[in-house]
Amino acid sequence: MCWLEPLAAIVVALPEWLTAFPPGIRLFEVELLSADNGLAIAVEASRAPSATELEQMLASMKMFTTSSAQLWWKTSSQSKFVRLDTGGESLELALTDDVRLQVQPGQFVQVNGEINRQMIDQVLSLVRKTGTDKTASSKKGLAVDLFCGSGNFSLPLAAHFDRVIGIEGLEGLVRSAEANAQRNNLTNIEFMVSDLNDWSGMRKLKEKIDLVLLDPPRNGAAGAMPWIAKAKPKQIIYISCHPSTMVRDAKLLTEAGYSLSAAGVMDMFPHTAHVEAIALFEK
């Protein structure tokens, strides 16, 4: 389980901690990241703290949380957050019983870890129950995971397919996905950087695709739809944080000969009007 109680304590005490920051440090953004084995506070500010200022910050952090929290920092001259505390353990999220995802501030991760695990279970259930395989342990051919991030779906899919290819537009996330595959000893998975709105780079994928899974941002995946239709996968699992763009893209899939086989919604964002949707399309 994620560290929800310590995270809640930090949310309450955070304003007082930030108010006591040294003069001359202007705050731009603060990110809180809760993982299964700890949590992190990530600060984006006008400058980095001095050694003395950092020592005071770390000491004051221990006063308002009973659990040790990591401190990450980024200035405008940095492209990513850098960890400032001396702890060594990396933050991890369990995707399944056997697969763990290493995460850090600044990377995209699903905001609700518990619902994310249930969502992955649902995806794997759809994969096992459909297709030509007669047993749950039988592996299928090739799965392609679009907008794969750091491997949230690609890594669990590796246990159910002979080969998995994860595709992401951001090189930093691809490097993270590759490292996560290595940590989990997954050798049947590869990742590639590609513009997810320009599919000229995907022409080298000539082999038959059994599954395309896509989890695009809120604006959907209109640019990917022509390639998906041309690739003719047996199954398409579409996951969306903005169901209206999924409906728009689904129209193109139905025009390509696919029908909706299963659909559902998940309360990924409690206390908001937003939901996460999942849909299975088959020929």
**C-beta pairs of 109-118 under 8 Å, 24+ apart in sequence:** 109/33, 109/149, 109/150, 109/152, 110/152, 110/268, 111/268, 111/269, 112/268, 112/269, 112/270, 113/2, 113/34, 113/35, 113/36, 114/1, 114/2, 115/266, 115/267, 115/268, 115/276, 116/152, 116/268, 118/266
Quote the CA–CA distance of 108 and 149 in Å, as a whole number: 7
Catalytic residues: 241
Q: For the chain, give me the number of helices (H) and strands (E)?
A: 7, 13
